[in-house]
Each structure stands twice: as C-alpha cells, then as structure tokens.
Amino acid sequence: MNSNTTTITPKAKSSNNFLTSLTIDGLELNEKFDKEKLEYTLDIPAETEKIKINAQLADSSAKVTGIGEVKVSTGLNTFEIVITAENGSKRTYIIK
C-alpha cells in the first residue's frame, strides 16, 4: 500500500525587528542612522510645534508604532519608535 502524504511545516515567524531608516521631515538626526543603534538626538528650532517621524521597516511583516506627526514642547522631548517583529519580539528606538 502506497501512501502519498505531504508534511507541511509551518514557516517560522520572523524575528526581524530592525529599521532600515529613521528620519524626521526637514531635520537631521545628530547621529548617522545605524539599525543597531537605539538612541538618537535631534536639535529642533525653538518655534517648532510638531515634527514628523518616518521609519522604514527591514521586514514588512513587522509592525511599528510611534511614527507620524508628533507634538513637541519646550525642553527635552523623548519619542519612542517601537518595532514588533512577526514573532512578537520588540525593539525600541529613542529620539531625544
């Protein structure tokens, strides 16, 4: 008796929670972007009320929060950009 069975192994979920770029519209981060570096600084003109944070995911199956237009106030502002890989692992990039 010949049995033709196929075993399907589920694809492992990606653990890639890196960015390929992190930018601010109209402004430059003080440090060159490196996917391994998690903390960046940014000098913002005093009259600035909002900035737009842009991030490019290294893996399209990952999710990102903390991007888009955000309000800024006088003094130190801290923004967290959190990337969650398909498997649930997280990486947080910080802009101060």
Per-residue pLDDT of 27-58, as tens digits, reads: 999 999 999 999 999 999 989 999 999 999 99
The Cβ of residue 92 has, within 10 Å, a number of other Cβ atoms equal to 14
Cβ-count burial of 72 within 10 angstroms (0-12 exposed, 13-18 middle, 19+ buried)? middle
With residues binned 3-state (H G I as helix, E B as strand, rest as coil), the percentages for the chain, rounded to 5, are 0, 40, 60
What is the tens place of the pLDDT at every residue in 47-90? 999 999 999 999 999 999 999 999 999 899 999 999 999 999 99
